[in-house]
């Protein structure tokens, strides 16, 4: 397989972390293979009466620490290798923030923009039925991901609840508040990225106020993050998406940009900034770069040209292993995805707990607990980095593997 294969990439990082901590060889072998991979064909009757069949997956990487946890993405280019890698990423992420979940992920190979609302709902419900044997509040708890949202989660929850004849709000997170969702869930990933950015700047002795930031992606994470960074005193000087990019060295008006994106569906054409080639965003001189789109965007070549001093990974797997050595040589600090974007899964944990309790928390309770967990996780990873004398990414993986390995060892092997 090529080095850029997502599953190969995550295995390289697991292998490295295992060597760092001397992980038991048997446990290492167990974590090198997903526990379950379910592939399904999803027949959907389209609006024109024709049946189309889409391919979908649900993967459990490891569930030693608790139920599987991970989003479902709808994307035309998703592959089983990507879903497996993202499930393993979730295993590590949940362990880093020390919440009682294992790693899971789902995906359907489809371009949802080509579906009507009715087709999208029918596909979601059929996919849900096809993977239902893996799902449950104590088995596997999906959440939104790329091209899925609260509405999709409501369909998924309703489908399982109808089939089983009982209300099961704890079977998904990221639901609308009206059907058991949590206050403070929307924007939690962006909040977590901001918390990690501030913590990294503090440890490095860099002022947040006036620092320049660039953000790749203006979706569910990148959009709110631009506003949060600006509110924290940073100058967001460049933002790009799949259709274009904009740049203003004085700092973008993030509220005006958000209004523009809501009207146009892209940052392209924003009148209060200059257009730029999306690929050039990494070369802009700045203190902070945030990849908040898809995986694999920071290659070794990009790392050589990167103009930032700190990278905080809001996306899953945005940096290829080939780039890690380059970034380390150039003294660019990377706050890895399994730490930086864990605010979303932490908020999902809060929602799951509320669904199980049947008691909704107030928004300030959610915000305070999110802040405390993210800050504690950051400090644990930062200290492990100092102790092991390795990068923050390698230390974060090592810490996660210690926690997962301990759970596997304590549970033992059945039968």
Q: What backbone phi and psi angles, to 5 degrees, belong to 311?
A: -115, 130
Residue listed under structure tokens 């979303």? 344
Same fold for the pair 35-167 and 188-331: yes
pLDDT band with cut points at 50, 70 and 90 for residue 2: very low
CB 341 within 8 Å of CB 315 = yes
* pLDDT at site 294: 80
pLDDT digit string (tens) for 43-68? 999 999 999 999 999 999 999 999 99
Pairwise CA distance, residues 133 & 60, whole Å:
12
What is the full DSSP assignment across 54-68?
Answer: EEEEEEEEE-SSSSE
pLDDT digits (tens, 9 = 90+) for 174-205: 999 999 999 999 999 999 999 999 999 999 99
Query: Model confidence at 371, in pLDDT bands (50, 70, 90)?
Result: very high
- pLDDT over 90 at 399, yes or no: yes
Q: Per residue in 278-318, pLDDT tens?
A: 999 999 999 999 999 988 899 999 999 999 999 999 999 89
The active-site residue, picked from 93, 105, 175, 220, is 105
* pLDDT tens digits for range 6-33: 999 999 999 999 999 999 999 999 999 9
**Pairing relationship of beta strands 140-144 and 235-241 according to DSSP bridges:** unpaired
Query: From CA 107, how far away is CA 93, in angstroms rounded?
Result: 19
Domain 188-331 fold is Rossmann fold (3.40.50)
3-state helix, strand and coil shares in percent for the chain, rounded to the nearest 5: 50, 20, 35
- pLDDT on residue 1: 35
Domain boundaries in the chain?
Answer: 35-167, 188-331
Instruction: Give which of 74, 78, 179 is closest to 128, Cα–Cα.
Output: 74
Mean pLDDT, range 223-249, rounded to an integer: 97
Is the pLDDT at 156 greater than 60? The verdict is yes
Average pLDDT over all residues of the chain: 97
Residue 105 annotated as catalytic: yes
Sheet holding 244-247, edge to edge: 274-275, 244-247, 235-241, 212-216, 288-291, 310-312, 333-335
What pLDDT was estimated at residue 4?
73
Mean pLDDT (whole number) for 243-264:
97
Fold of 35-167: Rossmann fold (3.40.50)
In this prediction the pTM is 0.95
Report the percentage of the chain scoring pLDDT > 70. 99
């Amino acid at each position: 397989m090529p080095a850029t294969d997502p599953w190969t990439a995550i295995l390289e990082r697991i292998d490295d972390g295992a060597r760092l901590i001397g992980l038991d060889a048997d446990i290492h072998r167990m974590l090198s293979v997903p526990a379950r991979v379910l592939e399904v064909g999803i027949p959907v009757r389209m609006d024109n009466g024709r049946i189309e069949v889409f391919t979908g997956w649900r993967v459990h990487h490891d569930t030693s620490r608790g139920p599987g946890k991970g989003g479902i993405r709808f994307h035309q280019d998703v592959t089983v290798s990507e879903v497996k890698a993202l499930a393993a990423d979730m295993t590590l992420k949940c362990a880093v923030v020390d919440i009682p979940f294992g790693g899971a992920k789902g995906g359907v190979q489809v371009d949802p923009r080509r579906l009507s609302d009715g087709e999208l709902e029918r596909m979601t419900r059929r996919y849900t039925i096809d993977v239902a044997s893996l799902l449950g509040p104590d088995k596997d708890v999906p959440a939104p991901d790329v091209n899925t949202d609260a509405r999709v989660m409501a369909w998924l929850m309703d489908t399982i609840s109808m089939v089983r004849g009982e209300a099961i709000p704890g079977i998904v997170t990221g639901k609308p508040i009206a059907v058991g969702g949590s206050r403070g869930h929307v924007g939690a990933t962006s909040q977590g990225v901001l918390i990690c950015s501030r913590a990294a700047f503090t440890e490095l002795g860099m002022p947040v106020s006036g620092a320049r930031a660039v953000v790749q992606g203006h979706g569910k994470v990148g959009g709110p993050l631009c506003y949060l960074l600006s509110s924290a005193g940073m100058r967001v000087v460049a933002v790009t998406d799949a259709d274009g990019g904009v740049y203003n060295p004085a700092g973008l008006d993030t509220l005006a940009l958000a209004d523009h994106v809501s009207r146009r569906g892209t940052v392209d054409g924003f009148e209060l900034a200059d257009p730029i080639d999306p690929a050039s965003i990494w070369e802009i001189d700045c203190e902070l770069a945030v990849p908040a789109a898809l995986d694999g965007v920071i290659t070794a070549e990009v790392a050589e040209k990167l103009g930032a001093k700190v990278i905080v990974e809001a996306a899953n797997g945005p940096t290829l292993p080939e780039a890690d050595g380059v970034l380390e040589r150039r003294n660019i600090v990377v706050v890895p995805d399994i730490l930086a974007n864990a605010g979303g899964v932490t908020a999902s944990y809060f929602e799951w707990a509320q669904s199980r309790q049947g008691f909704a928390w107030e928004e300030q309770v959610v915000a305070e607990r999110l802040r405390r967990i993210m800050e504690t996780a950051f400090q644990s990873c930062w200290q492990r980095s100092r102790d092991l004398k390795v990068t923050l990414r390698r230390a974060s993986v090592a810490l996660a593997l210690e926690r997962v390995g301990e759970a596997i060892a304590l549970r033992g092997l059945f039968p």
